[in-house]
Amino acid sequence: MEASKTDSPHILMVSAECYPAAKVGGLADVVGSLPRYLNKGDARCAVIMPHYHNSWITQQEVVEKHYGSFHMGWEWIEYRIFYIVHEELGYDLYTIEIPGKFDRPGVYGDHHEPYYRDEIERNIAFQRCVLHWLMHWEKLPDLIHCHDHHTALIPFMMTRCPEFWRLGNTPTILTIHNAAYQGMFGWDRQYLLPEFSREASGLLDWGHVINSLACGIKCAWRVTTVSENYLHELMETSGFGLQGLFRSEHWKSRGVINGIDYDYWNPAHDHYLTMRLKKNIDKWKRDNKVSLLKELKMPTDLPLHIFIGRMVHDKGIDFLANLIYQYMIYKRDACFIILGTGDGRIEDQCRMLEHNFGPHVRSLIMYNEGVAHRLYAAADFLWMPSRTEPCGLNQMYAMRYGTIPIARATGGLLDTIEPFDGNEGDGFLFRDLEEYQGMWGIESSTRLFKMPELHSLVKGKIMAKDLSWEHSAAKYLDIYHEIIPAKTNA
């Protein structure tokens, strides 16, 4: 590690995404923020990720740290480790260049194919390169922190593959951001893995295939999910076929809610905003709202509802689009702005909303970070009708900017939103994706909007809510300290 904090535990995070280097979803935001907050406390945290050929990575100054090679099945893998020279990150960032695997701009796929056909080969090569590199370290890290199925085979390889004998007593944590993606592949491709004993095959197997995520859950010293309620759901009804495994490994599992980066998500210093927060929250929100809606030629005196996110089934945007259509047939006393990209059919559905309901609905089929920040600052309400939401970050961004969430009661949304009861609370929660429950969300939020004093109190309350990484980082540090001393006795 480049920086030195000699007495602090040395943590290496392994991830397929890390903001600002490469981002597809919330995984990148977590891995891009948590290490910085850990380093503010009692830790020395670094991140290793693939060296994608995207605009951010290719523009950085890099220093080559290591070259290595090995056989993966019948293929000869060569790799280089680069250190990214970037003082503002707040942690050391390394990338692994693997010719033929990650020398593409996309993280998981591109506009030609949503997921690259060699996804399994890429993931295994990346994980093996990480461990191959660690075998050359003079002093090993105190703990390896893996994220999602892309890195979930690392705990198995460290303890069951003789090639990595030096790493067997190093503690591991696996954080699950989304258990729906499990990295499964057939036993006919086990040749991609390092040699392991036949007795260890059961650790890899789940449902007669090799399941990367299930293997990681079995082999990691600790397992965390990105909210307490999501862990409960995984054990009970929403484990994507792994409910029994989550229950059997519950003894070593923790739910730790994500936080948000208060330096980046700061309405007083947000460089995407021309009107930044000074003292008066109501005036600041109103000024941003009027400015944005005038640009979009929308009414400025109605409640403004927004959706920001991927246009996919899990996010419930299809439900919201149908809800908006049904509502707008009868009433025009609210405005809706949708920002995002995804499923082409849902995109077309949202375009038709704008076509049919003119100035009351705008569908921005794109993702633009600056526009997202402006929407959070301008909106009155944010919709998150998610079918599944392990943690959710958008509701936290919204509350930080005084925008009240309307969400389905699932996953981390339950852990972060206190239901509004008419006087107390900070958001609106509904249980099922039923039209009448969605209509309740619109009507309830409209009533609050028409009570300016109460609306102002709720805005002030949610903006004062502590959703930063400080508490979450402290919980991770507790878990680290819980298992790091144990390695000397393992």
**pLDDT tens figures, 34-82:** 999 999 988 999 999 999 999 999 999 999 999 999 999 999 999 999 9
User: 23: closest CA among 1, 54, 63?
Assistant: 54
Please report, for residues 11, 341, 405, 449, 460, the alpha-carbon distance to residue 422 in angstroms, rounded to integers and kept in the order given. 45, 35, 15, 12, 16
**81, 185: one domain:** yes
486 Cβ neighbours under 8 A, 6+ residues apart: 171, 221
Do 287 and 242 fall within a single domain?
Answer: no
Same domain, 249 and 285: no
Task: Specify whether 98 is located in the same domain as 242.
Answer: yes
User: Do 460 and 476 sit in the same domain of this protein?
Assistant: no
Residues 456 and 408 in one domain: yes
The CA R_g of the chain, rounded to the nearest whole Å, is 23
Handedness of CA 184, 125, 77, 191 (dihedral sign): negative
Q: Residue 97: inside a domain, yes or no?
A: yes
Based on the structure, what is the number of domains in the chain?
2
Is residue 371 in a domain? yes
Residue 276 forms part of a structural domain: no
pLDDT surpassing 80 at residue 349? yes
Give the domain CATH number at 57: 3.40.50.2000
Q: Which domain holds residue 414?
A: 281-466
- Does 170 lie in the same domain as 242? yes
Strands 381-384 and 361-364: unpaired
The distance from CA 51 to its chain's CA centroid, rounded to whole angstroms, is 19
Q: Is residue 3 part of a domain?
A: no
- Identify whether residues 125 and 109 lie together within a single domain: yes
Q: Is residue 264 part of a domain?
A: no
**pLDDT higher than 50, residue 488:** no
Percent of the chain with pLDDT over 90: 89
Name residue, tokens 């999910």.
225
Residue 23 labeled ligand binder: yes
pLDDT of 489 over the 60 cut: no
Mean pLDDT of the chain: 95
318 and 455 assigned to the same domain: yes
In a domain, 83, yes or no: yes
Q: What is the pLDDT of residues 290-334, one digit of tens each?
A: 999 999 999 999 999 999 998 999 999 999 999 999 999 999 999
Residue 155 confidence (pLDDT): 99
Q: Is the pLDDT of residue 277 over 90?
A: yes
As a whole number, mean pLDDT of residues 387-392 equals 95
User: Which pLDDT band holds residue 114 (cuts at 50, 70, 90)?
Assistant: confident
Q: 373 with 273: CB under 8 angstroms?
A: yes
* Residue 25: predicted pLDDT: 84
Same domain for 295 and 368: yes
Q: What is the pLDDT of residue 2?
A: 52
What's the mean pLDDT in 104-130?
Answer: 92
In sequence order, the β-bridge partners of residue 482 are none
Torsion over CA of 298, 300, 302 and 304, rounded to 10 degrees? 70
Q: What is the pTM of this model?
A: 0.92
pLDDT at 5: 58
Mean pLDDT confidence for 256-261? 95
The answer on 452 and 347 residing in a single domain is yes
**Domain-located, residue 183:** yes
51, 188: one domain: yes
Any domain includes 375: yes
Give CA–CA dist 439/442, Å, rounded: 5
| Residue 3 in this model has a pLDDT that exceeds 60 | no
